[in-house]
Amino acid sequence: MRRLPLEHITAVDAVEKPLYFENGERVFNVGERIVHDHFPALRKVGITELWEFERGDDIAAFIRSASSETVRVDDLTASHKFYLPVYTPDGQLLVTEGTFCNPKIKTRLVQLGLAEVAVEKEKPTVNPVEIFLREKNRLSREVNRRALARMAITQAKMLLAPKAVSPGEVEKSLESEVKDAGPAGAALDRLVDSNTRSRSRADKEDSIRKYRNAAGVIEKLLENLRQGTVADGTEIVNLAREEIYQLVDDKDLLLNLLNVDVDGVSSLAHLAVKRAVVAANVASALQYGDDQVLELTVSALLADVGMLTVPADILNKKGPLDDEERRCVQAHAVAGLGLLKNVTNVPRAVMYTIFQHHERIDGSGYPKGTAKEKQHPFAPVVAVADTYAAMTTDRPWRKALLPYTAMETIIREASVRHFDSDVVRGMLRYTSLFPIGSLVELSTGAIGKVVGCKKTHYARPLVQPILDVKTHKVPRNPTIVDLSRDPTIRILRPVPHEEYANVGISEGF
């Protein structure tokens, strides 16, 4: 291992090896960028050197020495927590790791003749790594905000005044829109960092709060539409802009939030946010420009407003729908156009996605059975995003499907030309076959969380081990496994979150 004073570290576009602080915490992950502003931020919190490991170094031993200390058995107190398990001479487990000492354990250790044991080091009140990670991510956000400062939807593409739109008007205006709405401008993908990163606890908590707040904003708009009052779409555009900021800042952490519980809002509001997050990611993968991704994200947020017109007894029915009920649900694609009379300041593309997000590229969808050639380019993107969001969310008639199962279904539907194969490939590039945030069981005996993906290795994502299958113990400072680089490790199965309900939403990130 090498100790690296900060003056020996240079700014680089991609770190080749992870860099650690002396307490064993990762400061920079493989692939992360180091910029000049990081150095004064590190010094400000008292970090003047980092550690790098060479091939063959025992990283676990370094982390163990950084996280633990040896204490004489005679000096043990109730505040000491055992860092390693303790066994009797005949191999019987006496103390499990993470157990606090007590008089009975101490007496038994003395009886066994043990002189000293490993205990966890007392953690400082102020963690310099946590403070630096917060500042590092703030600096990254500043750079991204500057790059996206001009992101906007031009007035020519907006529905500025409330207006009810008929299907005939939509179809007529689509003739020109279909030709002009393909990817254009500087692709948002240029700003999206696809490398795993180290994150502060505060950053992770902020991301959850913003996601839940987004569902609240949509709920407020839906309530206005229910009451027939005019809703200002400016707030929705700003919400979409914030989602894009989060996508650029930390795509993987944002996608992980698709698994978060959102209380106090309707499933319609929650689905809108999930749909928009997926749609924005897919649009970025398809090389859409900044302004276009903003326009598409707003469209995805509002795509299902027509469901407000469907009676609650049909929406909440636990059994299969009959033909009449199914026709009532399908009518929401047209009914949503009528609700635009109560929405101002939204992009024109909203009316196309409302009308066409249930169409299929082979013409087998509804309401018109329109094939790809006559669909707005945003519609196939929102169609896939809407299907994924719906399948991975609890509904009155079924539990949420595993993200892996949902991806398998979407891939199968693409193979029979229900979904656009380019759109599905874009989704795979950004999320993988085992979508980010999923739990998987590895051939190593670990339960891991998918925390990243490689664009060309759909089935070999980056996995953070979080539990041992047999012991259910949490590994100490585990390293991320890049399955695209290690063919000896396989994913045995996707794992339902219910099997490990105690695994937190931010675990592994």
Name the residue range of residue 277's domain.
159-402
Same domain, 322 and 397: yes
Contact 245, 193 (CB under 8 A): no
Same domain, 290 and 201: yes
Place of tokens 């590190």: 42
Residue 283 inside a domain? The answer is: yes
The CATH code of the domain that includes 82 is 3.90.105.10
DSSP assignments along 69-106, one per residue:
EEEEGGG--TT-BBSS-EE-TTS-EEE-TTPBP-HHHH
Tokens of 127: 């963690």
Quote the number of domains for the chain: 3
Residue 509 inside a domain? The answer is: no
Tokens of 367: 């309401």
Same domain, 227 and 84: no
Who's near 288: CB < 8 A, 6+ residues apart? 183, 184, 187, 188, 296
Dist. CA 276–CA 240, nearest whole Å: 8
The CATH code of the domain that includes 165 is 1.10.3210.10
Residue 4 inside a domain? The answer is: no
Dist. CA 425–CA 410, nearest whole Å: 10
Tens of pLDDT, residue by residue, the chain (509 residues): 889 999 999 998 888 888 999 888 889 987 788 989 999 999 999 999 999 987 777 777 787 777 888 999 999 999 999 988 899 888 888 998 889 999 999 999 999 999 999 998 887 788 899 899 989 888 888 888 888 888 888 877 887 666 778 888 888 888 777 666 678 878 899 888 766 777 888 889 999 999 999 999 999 999 999 998 988 899 999 999 999 999 988 999 999 999 888 888 899 999 999 999 999 999 999 999 999 999 999 999 999 999 999 999 999 998 889 999 999 999 999 999 999 889 999 998 999 999 999 999 999 999 999 999 999 999 999 999 999 999 999 888 889 999 999 999 999 999 999 999 999 999 999 999 999 999 999 999 999 999 998 888 899 999 999 988 887 777 666 788 899 988 999 999 999 988 888 888 888 88
Tokens of 246: 């989060």
Same domain, 170 and 114: no
Dist. CA 224–CA 226, nearest whole Å: 5
Same domain, 213 and 100: no
Dist. CA 118–CA 80, nearest whole Å: 9
Residue 71 inside a domain? The answer is: yes
Contact 262, 270 (CB under 8 A): yes
Contact 214, 262 (CB under 8 A): no
Strands 2-5 and 49-52: antiparallel
Task: Specify burial of residue 471 (Cβ count, 10 A radius: 0-12, 13-18, 19+).
Answer: exposed
